[in-house]
């Protein structure tokens, strides 16, 4: 795959701080004021988002009056736009319920919201994971707003790389657990993974967490020998990872982080090196999406190291391309090029038919999409478009969400290449594909595209795209 690099840029769809859902009327003047201040400074939603560490989709919600900003975001907006207290005044009325919820999240820390601990032993790991599932079921509205910190991933990653993977878990609980029960967990997890790919994380997440809390937790407290225990921990880790991935796709980043950490701990209890490498890769994926370049690179390298130890070359290739994306997010073109070259060479060596079933998504279309994301982050639209076209050679039914992402990627590449009309034509296809999805990422990618096409309003194709996408963005 020939590569050309140039200017630095930011990744599409990056996100940062989030507000709790407002429980009271939102002052409509706030959104109008925010938009006026932004336009006065000739800032796009994307550029402002980079300054205040928020997604452009979230800022679009604020301007449309669909959300109230959290106090940290409000303070950053005041500073970035030199608002002179105007935004603070317009957003000053907060109901008691919403204020209490925000205060609870802000003061809860890691002591009352479980999930960031990488436990010393597998018994404690099971206790932390099952507590997370239970809390998610009982305090879901509160946990939706828990904060994300990319740096919080690094300690669990180091613990994984240095911890012994020979715990041989066994238990003397009441319920006998055997191979049929473990296989049932794997089968159910496979169904949820497929539904997540087809319909998005918001469609499956709550049901999947209920399965973890009501079924898997009971198995982990059951009676099993070391062999069954390792298989059970591996199956539970995979289910927990899917729950984390669906939470990430639904925009619940702090909660997703906790699921990923606990998935990694369960994989350690199982001694499952390939799955641990895949979970580290997923952590890198989320960190890059949230523009945490350094952490994304470190996590991808940790994933690659474990994949090499496990002898799964497909995950080595995936880890290398995720490392490249982390470098691209940070604007390091040379490091990105080197990582892409390693990814391509590892991909060519990989026997993808012999790897774990859950790595089957990693094919040439997926690799091409990742190359495309790297090049859009580096503002190389023409090169990105070439890879984005190749990324569409995929099963668009089984991976409907991925196809929607790739269509939006292609549209963004066309904008960067100076062809807004073609971008809008492809954007209409992406907007149509998103209508069946329950995915915050899909919505944010479209919001980013709409922001990029904003300066070209008046072109018939762009106006058609805007007419189709705006109702979807407002109703999402």
Domains of the chain plus CATH, in order, are 1-108 (1.10.260.40), 363-476 (1.25.40.10)
For 324-352, what is the mean pLDDT?
A: 95
Distance CA 91, CA 74 (A): 8
Q: What is the pLDDT of residue 147?
A: 87
The proportion of the chain whose per-residue pLDDT surpasses 90, expressed as a percent, equals 69
Return mean pLDDT, the chain.
Answer: 87
Tens digit of each residue's pLDDT (9 = 90 or more) over 121-166: 999 999 999 999 999 999 877 777 788 999 999 999 999 998 888 8
Dist. CA 81–CA 61, nearest whole Å: 17
Average pLDDT over residues 53-80: 76
Instruction: Name the DSSP class of 215.
Output: I
222: DSSP letter? S
Is residue 223 predicted with pLDDT exceeding 80? yes
Whole-structure pTM value: 0.79
Check: CB of residue 204 under 8 Å from CB of residue 192: yes
Q: Which two tokens stand for residue 147?
A: 């904060």
Instruction: For residues 197 and 462, give the distance between their C-alpha atoms in angstroms, rounded to a whole number.
Output: 29
Q: pLDDT higher for 96 or 93? A: 93
pLDDT at 15: 32
Element (H, E) at 434: helix 420-434
- The confidence score (pLDDT) of residue 59 equals 87
């Amino acid at each position: 795959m020939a590569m050309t690099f140039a200017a630095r840029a930011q990744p599409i769809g990056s996100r940062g701080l989030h507000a709790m859902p407002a429980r009271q009327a939102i002052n409509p003047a706030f959104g109008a004021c925010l938009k006026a201040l932004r336009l006065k400074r000739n800032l796009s939603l994307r550029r402002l988002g980079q300054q205040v560490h928020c997604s452009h989709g979230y800022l679009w919600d604020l301007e449309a009056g669909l959300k109230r900003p959290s106090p940290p975001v409000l303070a950053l907006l005041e500073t970035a736009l030199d608002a002179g207290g105007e935004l603070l005044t317009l957003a000053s009325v907060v109901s008691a319920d919403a204020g209490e919820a925000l205060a609870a999240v802000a003061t809860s820390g890691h002591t009352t919201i479980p999930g960031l601990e990488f436990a010393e032993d597998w018994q404690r790991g099971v206790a932390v994971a099952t507590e997370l599932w239970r809390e998610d079921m009982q305090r879901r509205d509160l946990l939706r707003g828990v904060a994300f910190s990319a740096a919080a991933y690094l300690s669990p990653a180091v613990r994984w790389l240095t911890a012994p993977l020979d715990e041989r878990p066994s238990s003397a609980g009441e319920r006998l657990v055997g191979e049929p029960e473990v296989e049932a967990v794997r089968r159910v997890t496979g169904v949820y993974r497929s539904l997540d790919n087809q319909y998005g994380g918001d469609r499956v997440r709550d049901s999947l967490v209920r399965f973890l809390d009501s079924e898997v937790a009971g198995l982990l407290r059951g009676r099993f020998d070391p062999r069954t225990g390792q298989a059970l921990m591996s199956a539970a880790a995979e289910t927990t990872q899917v729950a984390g991935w669906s939470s990430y796709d639904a925009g619940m980043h702090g909660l997703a982080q906790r699921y990923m950490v606990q998935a990694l701990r369960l994989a350690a209890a199982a001694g499952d090196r390939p799955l641990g490498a895949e979970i580290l890769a997923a952590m890198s994926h989320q960190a890059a999406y949230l523009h945490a370049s350094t952490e994304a690179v470190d996590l991808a390298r940790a994933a690659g190291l474990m994949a090499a130890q496990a002898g799964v070359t497909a995950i080595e290739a995936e880890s290398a391309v995720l490392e490249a994306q982390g470098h691209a997010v940070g604007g390091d073109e040379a490091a990105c090029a080197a990582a892409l070259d390693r990814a391509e060479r590892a991909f060519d060596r990989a026997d993808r038919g012999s790897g774990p079933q859950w790595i089957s998504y990693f094919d040439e279309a997926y690799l091409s999409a990742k190359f495309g994301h790297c090049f859009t982050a580096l503002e190389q639209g023409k090169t990105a478009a070439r890879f984005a076209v190749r990324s569409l050679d995929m099963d668009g039914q089984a991976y409907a969400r991925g196809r929607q992402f790739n269509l939006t990627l292609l549209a963004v590449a066309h904008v960067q290449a100076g062809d807004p009309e073609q971008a809008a034509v492809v954007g209409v296809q992406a907007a149509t594909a998103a209508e069946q999805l329950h995915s915050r990422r899909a919505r944010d990618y479209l919001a980013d595209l709409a922001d990029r096409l904003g300066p070209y309003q008046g072109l018939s194709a762009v106006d058609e795209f805007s007419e189709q996408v705006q109702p979807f963005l407002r109703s999402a």
